Every structure is written in structure tokens, then in C-alpha cells.
Amino acid sequence: MNQKYAVQLTEAERYQLKQMLSAGTSSARKIRRAQIMLKSDSSQGGLNWSYQVICEAFNVSQPTISEVRRLYVTGGVEAALHRKKPDRMYEHRLDVSSGGPSDCPDVWQTARRVRTLDLTFTAGADDQTLVCGAGLP
């Protein structure tokens, strides 16, 4: 496969990645990405493995290798190692932490019951049994 993004690590980057691998305290994702970058290194001291060899050695897909190489070329080692934060904000559907019983009693009480309810359901149990068994009024 033709390499669209050629990884050419500097000595400092190569040393940083090797140190991270030898420490063994990083997440599996970071370690795998560091391994991919080291094996993809096409600079003077690099190994320059092909896509197929990297796929077989680390059990990853070719799109994963392409993504790591692209992130390195466009943003450097840190961009290739770390996850990108999401750009979008999510709307919270039920936020019971901000209010109390006076804001919305029905929603607040239901959320409180769901948080404190820890039951094992048995065959034939009716609603009254479950409410009494949970210790709720």
C-alpha cells in the first residue's frame, strides 16, 4: 500500500516513545499507537515496516495505521497518542443534582428512588412488595 503519510521521527521523539513503552504505565491505546509509530518510522534509524507487517504484528487494521500516521504528520507525537476531545456539547435530559423536591417533586422523587433502589426481582413479586422491600414509603 502506498504511504500517503510518511512517519519520520526525530531522535528525541523516538526516545520519548521508547521510554513510554519501557515504562509500561500508559494506556493500551497509547502503547499500541507508540508501537505503530516506531515501526512506521521511515527516517534514517527507523524500521519502516509495511502496513501488512504492522497489521499482523499488532493485530490492528490498516485504517488504524493510516489514522495514527495521519495524526502524527498533521499534529505530531502528542496528537497521535492522545484522544481528541469531542467538539460537541450534549444536552442533559435529567439533571437532579441542581434541584430538589421543590423544583420538580415527581422527577426528583423518581430519580431518588432509582438511585436508592437495589432489589433482586423474584417471580410473582407485586409492586407493593417491591416498594416495601426497598424501604421506600
- The region of weakest confidence among 40-44, 57-61, 81-85, 101-105 is 101-105
DSSP 84: P
Maximum distance among all alpha carbons in the chain? Answer: 75
| C-alpha to C-alpha distances, 76 to 31, 44, 48, 67, nearest whole angstrom | 16, 18, 18, 12
Give 122 or 57, the one with higher predicted confidence. Answer: 57
pLDDT in tens, 44-82: 989 999 999 999 999 999 999 999 999 999 999 999 999
Question: Residues 76-95, buried b or exposed e (16+ Cβ, 10 A)?
Answer: ebeebbeeeeeeeeeeeeee
Q: What is the pTM of this model?
A: 0.64
Average pLDDT over residues 1-24: 90
